[in-house]
Amino acid sequence: MKVLIVDEMHESIVHMPEELGLEVDYFPNIAFEEVLAKVGDYEGLLIRSKFTIDKHFLSHASKLRFIGRAGAGLDLIDLEACKSAGVDVFGANEANKVAVAEHLIGMLLSLLHKINVASKEVKNGQWNREKNRGEELFDKTVGIIGFGNNGQATAERLSAFGCKILAYDKYKYGFGNHLIQEVSLKKIQEEADVVSLHIPLTKDTLKMINTDFFNAFRKDIYFCNIARGEIVILSDLADALKSGKVRGACLDVLENEKLKTLSPSEKETFDYLCSLDNVVLTPHVAGWSNESYVKINQVLKDKIRMWLEQNNQ
């Protein structure tokens, strides 16, 4: 079987499928039109985030039997179209859960203890102790929305900080234990001090986080999004920050991450967020550690092996 790799990945991505007896072609800088011209010769495709897989793409991939995504989330792949075409799809969701959890906690600690702000001030010769008095994460109630790999890893680590963990997942049940309380979304909105998103981007979650969502919380909250930017209406988050309903935010993802293409209204919202000391921003790197870069390939290799065994290849 031949496998086409069309995104830049850790170099081990070439050798791992070869160890399974597959023929691998690695074109990390290939253009979309070139992929369309080549993909018809391949049974397997490995991608990261370069482009969308839809009916048009699949019409050029008559031999394709599986697609592996080097990352968490399959929102760039039309799963229904793949199912209709007989193409199996799997991601490497498990590979970056530790990186995501550690990144989120780092952002949250930086926000609560004003580490980013204080560091900038000291570097500029300012020694403002009282202004930078921090707030402890200990004993806070954290609402985890989405309890997949990343949500679970984050919840487990936050529990070690002495947080009360409330977890909600629309599609799972029976996952509660002595550390994590399985609850409804309403329960989170009644009790949470901190809310963290760990849900995929789907038709149901697109723009799910809006003014109504924030206003449903009894307390003023800290809000974290390291899932997908399109889940949150950023202007509504900005309004919640202005009103104080959201006390601070940790954002690794944005509605529009191509900053040079922001519309005037998007630019206004982005500039406002950037002006706030109680907003911590990072460039979609929560799951992008040196270790996860390699782990992603190992997970893909294991899933390809399982696929080959299930399909008697």
Q: Would you please indicate which residues are annotated as catalytic (active-site) residues?
A: 228, 257, 284
In the numeric block, which tokens belong to residue 49? 């985030």
Beta strands in 50-184 (DSSP E): 66-69, 88-91, 141-145, 164-168, 180-182
Rg of the Cα atoms in the chain: 21
141-145 and 164-168: which strand pairing? Answer: parallel
- Secondary element (H or E) of residue 248: strand 246-251
How far lies 95's CA from each of 4, 91, 208, 230, in Å? 21, 9, 26, 23
List the strands of the sheet with 2-5, edge to edge: 23-26, 2-5, 44-47, 66-69, 88-91
